[in-house]
Every structure is written in C-alpha cells, then in structure tokens.
Amino acid sequence: QNPKTSAIVKQLLAEGNAGELQKYFGSRMEFGTAGLRAAMGAGISHMNDLTIIQTTQGFCRYLEKNFSDLKKRGVVIGFDARAHHPSGGSSKRFARLAANTFISQGVPVYLFSDITPTPFVPYTVTHLKLCAGIMVTASHNPKQDNGYKVYWENGAQIISPHDKGISQAIEGNQEPWPQAWDDKLIDGSLLLHDPYATVNKEYFKDIQKQCFHRNINKETNLKFVHTSVHGVGHKFVQLAFKAFDLNPPFAVPEQKDPDPEFPTVKYPNPEEGKGVLTLSFALAEKDGAKIILANDPDADRLAVAEKQESGEWKVFSGNELGALLGWWIFTCWKNHNRDTCAIKDVYMLSSTVSSKILRAIALKEGFHFEETLTGFKWMGNRAKQLMDQGKAVLFAFEEAIGYMCCPAVLDKDGVSAAVITAEMASFLATRNLSLSQQLKAVYDEYGFHITKASYFICHDPKVIQQLFDNLRNFDGKNTYPKSCGRFKVSGIRDLTTGYDSSQPDQKAILPTSKSSQMITFTFANGGVATMRTSGTEPKIKYYSELCAPPGNSDVEQLKKELDELVNALEKHFFQPEKNNLQRKTE
C-alpha cells in the first residue's frame, strides 16, 4: 500500500522489465543473527513498508511462543535518521510500522520518540526488563541501505537458533494483518510508551560508574573534536562529556546534524580512516584540539585520532584503541579494588579476529581472558553468562572499532567509549603522556602486537565459494596449504567445517557456521592470519597479527615481517587478479 514502491513495481511491469523484477522479487531478504540489512526499495529483497510488516509479524509470533508474559513486559523499538525518498522508506516510518504490529496484538511497545544511538536499545531491554528490542539502522552502510537489528531479553543480540525460528515465523506470517499499514493507530494507544526521557537520564547515570577522575576532567586543558558523521551521536556525546564533567568537544558543524544523504563523505564509516576525518582534522587545527573522536552514524562504534609531535595525525586502529582501553579499564579497576582475591572473578573478552593484546595483559595481571566468534552478539551473550555467574566483565572489544566499556550495555557502545577515551587522555596529559606514548608503554610492558587488516570487494558469491574451496583442496582433495610463499603454515582452524589441527580430536572448540566462510592460519614465525566473509557486505576480509614477547623492541623488523606475510597472503591465497577482486583502496 505504499504508493511509491507500488508505482515502482507497476512501472517495471508496464515496461516488461523481467530482469529488474527478478532482482526485486527473486528472493526474500535473509533474516540472520544480525537481523536484516539491505537497500531500501520495492520488492521482497529490499527494506520497505511491506517487508518490515512481514518481519515484525513473524518476530511477534515467535516472541509470543517464547514468552508467556510478553503482553505484560513488551518490547523496545529505536531508530536512526536514515531515509530514502525514492521509495518513501525511513527508519522512523519502519519503527512506527513495527510498533503498530505489536500494539495490534496487545503487546506494550516502548518506542523512542526521536533518534537514538543503537546501544540505547539493548540498554532499555535490560533496564526495563523487556522481552526484546528492535533497532532500525544500517549503521555505517551506504545511504540507500537500512537494517533491522534484534536483541533478546538478556540485552544481547540474538544468536542461533533464534534467527532460524524468527525466519520461519516470518515465512508463515506474510499476509499483512488487518490495519497493519495504518501506523496512526498507535498514537492514541495506551500500549505505546516513550522511554526517551527516562533512558536518557538513567543511561548517563549508569555510565558515570566508569568515571574515575572527575577532578582531572574538570581541570583539563585538553581539547577534543567530535564528529557524528551525519548520524545520531552529536547530542549524546555532548551529554556524556557533561556527565563526566568534561568540557564539551568541538563538534564538526557540517556533520553534527543527522542527514540521510551523508553529503560530506563517500562512505559514512570511520573505519575507513582519514577520508572520513578530513573535516575533523581541519576543525582540530583551527581550534587547537589534539584528539578527534568519531562515531559511526548509529554511534555504536568509535574511531580516535591524535595529533603527533611531528604535526601528523595518527588514526588508531581498533586493535590499538582496544589495547589502550583494556589497559585503562583494568588500571582503574585495580586502583579501586584493593582486594587481591577479586581478580579471579575478572574477565575481558575479544573476538577471534581481534588482537590478542588482552590475553597478554591478562596473563601478566592475573585476570581471565576469553575469545569468542566474530561479532558482538557472541561477546554480549558470553558477557551475560559470566555476569550471571557473579563474574565482572570489565571490557570487550573487536577490531572493527567496537568497544563495550560499561556492563550496562551488552553490545558495542560508541558513546561511553568516546567519553572514557576522553577521560583516559585527560589523565595521561597530567603525566605528560599522549595516547600514542601510552600505547607504546603498553606494548613495552606486555609485548608488541602488530596487526594489519584489510579486505577485497567481491560481488560474486560463486567466486568467494571457489576461493575458499581452493584453500581447502590446495594440494589435492581435503588438503590445506602447507606454506604461503616463504612462510610455513604450522596450524589451521576452519570454523566453516569445524576442523582445527591444534586440537587432539581435530575439532574446533569455538562454534562453527556452515553459512559463513572463516579460516585461520597460524605460521611458524608466530604470525596468525584469518580470512573470512562479511555477514553484511560483499567483502572478503583478512586480519593478521604478529605477537612478540615483552622485551622484543625491534618494532620496525616486526612490521616488515608482517607486511611480507600479508603480501604473500594476498598473492597466494586471495589471488586478486585471477579472481577479479577489487582492493580496498580502489
């Protein structure tokens, strides 16, 4: 019933354009553990009013089956600022249609009245003890995309088998229920609640538990620049600084207000590094700021850059910021917990493709470190399990600039990460140390961890399948590579098939998934490299790391060795020319 998408389809029918119609209606968007992520537009392969209604009807039925008290507890729904004028789709409209679906079945809905950061949804699920949460966002994807991200009652993103259960329920509830299209019905409903004011108050109260140096914050002369990259983060980072008694950061004026066109950047993704930060650098130079904090458009990730003595800007990788925040959060914990026995209940987590720096810190300091599969859904769920056993999960991170610094949010949170980074930098400034100097000190103490990650773009799933099949049948059937150029392979873990050469029974300990590709190679020189497909983008990613024990300070030699390993990986395992892969820089 959306006139815009309806007109698009009628036009294609009139033109007899079978090719485009096949694209729109050939296959339904797949509902996975990350929910939905696709372009906005007509047809069942896109995000639009109809597919949102169908998805929410399925989700509603699945929740009814799992929670006898769903009509008492309810769900929360948040949305970002994305909009797509050609199809009439927007995050706010999708959120209202989803709310209407639940309310029509007598389920209370806590619908945010305005845009919010993604972490506010899992925070609300936990804080109000709700059954589930939905966030309508495509995070840092291109402007035409949108997404539908789902949280369970434990405040973490869903993991299997919920994705399959919801997917089946969507299949069984495709015809819109009566009044499904009429989202105006919710406005007068007694089942509609707005958690905006409460959550804004409570969230900033909760993150203050991670504020340890209020006096330093009040006095610091350090200046910060913040960009929300045309997304939702501006207001919330300003409020977080206020909660920590820090002077507000300078906001990049061209990027501080939400704009679904993302006019000043090619990709609204701070992970892409300096290209996204051009305007931030200019403002920092003008205002004399040393540190830049950049959120992605839904404010669940954080990139950080610091001006060096040389006048150059250093953009920290996710692993480097993970090392700094891990060191900082543990140091703050240690200074506030004189009971030496308490450390046996302290945990930190990171994903298997992230740097193992936390493992090195944990080994030396005596707390626990665990690695999980890639993605915060795994870290959030594991953190909740540990917390339910009375453990303290201080920190979790992934190399894709995602950080969980505060146990009140069991997902990555770019708002709390931004203000905690600002407090850490302010504290270090009182010791005449920069973030870069402290990072070197962390590596000096716990061993250098040099990492390098990138990706190739490939739009053809057959090519991707063939590439990974070749790695599994490298020297004849069912044989993995024994070397990569001059680098000898000493171990292989394949989480697609469940094979791990290092285990006595050759079975991987981490859960496996046949639907995504992921192989990790360990090399005789101590290097590790993982190749995997992305769940949300047409990319084959790789992550590599060389770890040296404390005292090995020839960093340049380590970097050279890692560069050579990565070059060999690209040449022999990716074979970009043969497979027609597009490099990141292109």
Q: Is 205 inside any structural domain?
A: no
Q: Kindly state whether residues 182 and 272 are assigned to the same domain.
A: no
Domain boundary among 164, 193, 222: 193
| Domain extent at residue 482 | 448-583
Element (H, E) at 166: helix 162-171
- pLDDT of 33 reads 82
The CATH number for 424's domain is: 3.40.120.10
Q: Is 203 inside any structural domain?
A: no
Q: Kindly state whether residues 48 and 99 are assigned to the same domain.
A: yes
Burial 378-417, CB ≥16 within 10 A → b, else e: bbbbbbbebeeeeebbbbbbbbbbbbbbbbbbbbbbbbbb
Indicate the average pLDDT of the chain: 96
CA distance 296 to 301: 6
Q: Is 204 inside any structural domain?
A: no
| Residues near 175 by beta carbon (within 8 Å), at least 6 away in sequence | none
Q: Kindly state whether residues 16 and 141 are assigned to the same domain.
A: yes
CA distance 467 to 473: 10
The three-state secondary structure class of 324 is: helix
Number of domains in the chain: 4
Q: Kindly state whether residues 362 and 301 are assigned to the same domain.
A: no
The model carries a pTM of 0.94
Q: Kindly state whether residues 441 and 462 are assigned to the same domain.
A: no
Give catalytic residue positions: 139
pLDDT in tens, the chain (586 residues): 999 999 999 999 999 999 999 999 999 999 988 899 999 999 999 999 999 999 999 999 999 999 999 999 999 999 999 999 999 999 999 999 999 999 999 999 999 999 999 999 999 999 999 999 999 999 999 999 999 999 999 999 999 999 999 999 999 999 999 999 999 999 999 999 999 999 999 999 999 999 999 999 999 999 999 999 999 999 999 999 999 999 999 999 999 999 999 999 999 999 988 889 999 999 999 999 999 999 999 999 999 999 999 999 999 999 999 999 999 999 999 999 988 889 999 999 999 999 999 999 999 999 999 999 999 999 999 999 999 999 999 999 999 999 999 999 999 999 999 999 999 999 999 999 999 999 999 999 999 999 999 999 999 999 999 999 999 999 999 999 999 999 999 999 999 999 999 999 999 998 888 888 999 999 999 899 999 998 778 899 999 999 988 877 688 899 999 999 999 999 999 999 999 999 987 4
Closest residue by Cα to residue 139 from 127, 157, 126, 124:
157
Q: Kindly state whether residues 45 and 56 are assigned to the same domain.
A: yes
Element (H, E) at 240: helix 234-243
Q: Is 296 inside any structural domain?
A: yes
Q: Kindly state whether residues 406 and 514 are assigned to the same domain.
A: no
Q: Kindly state whether residues 462 and 432 are assigned to the same domain.
A: no
Q: Which residue has the tokens 């000493």?
A: 490
Element (H, E) at 206: helix 196-207
Domain boundary among 148, 166, 193: 193
Half-sphere exposure of 407 (CA within 13 A, CB side): 17
Q: Kindly state whether residues 183 and 59 are assigned to the same domain.
A: yes
Strand duo 224-227 + 291-295: pairing: parallel
**pLDDT digit string (tens) for 52-109?**
999 999 999 999 999 999 999 999 999 999 999 999 999 999 999 999 999 999 999 9
Q: Kindly state whether residues 435 and 485 are assigned to the same domain.
A: no
The CATH number for 525's domain is: 3.30.310.50
Q: Kindly state whether residues 34 and 177 are assigned to the same domain.
A: yes
Q: Kindly state whether residues 11 and 155 are assigned to the same domain.
A: yes
| Residues near 237 by beta carbon (within 8 Å), at least 6 away in sequence | 226, 228, 249, 293, 295, 299, 415, 418, 419
Domain boundary among 429, 446, 463: 446
